[in-house]
Amino acid sequence: MSLTTDQRATFAAVADVLIPGAGTQPSATAAGVPERLDWALTHRPDLASPLADALDRCAAAGDLESALDALAADEPHLLEALTVLTAGAYLTTPAGLAGRPYAAAPRNVTDEIDSYVDLLEVVAERDFEIRGV
């Protein structure tokens, strides 16, 4: 399913309502979310149809905040598609990542392989089974 030009324009406007710029964090459009939408849809193609429906309802309503409130009340699955794709696209853009204060969790780089082998032995002793294989 391919979104129309109007749906894409509505998505950009809605994305900025959902993720406005604040402090060091850029707005959705400033971060490049509209350009990242197709990428997000490749990971969640099941959300393409609900997204299109949500965008059509937002466009018809005119006032985007009221439209989002109506989706939340009447069609939460449509709002979920819209928010999941918007947030997923935002959080994977370089600008979205750079705008968040984040430090990777420290990890021990001197792990010894024996500790992993010991762990696997304990799992094997419990008769570990891989389900669905």
Instruction: Give the residue with greater pLDDT, 98 vs 9.
Output: 9
Amino acid letter, residue 71: L
- Selection from 80, 14, 13, 91 nearest residue 47 by Cα: 80
Mean pLDDT within 117-130: 65
Q: What ranges do the domains of the chain cover?
A: 5-103
Mean pLDDT estimate for the chain: 84
The reported pTM is 0.72
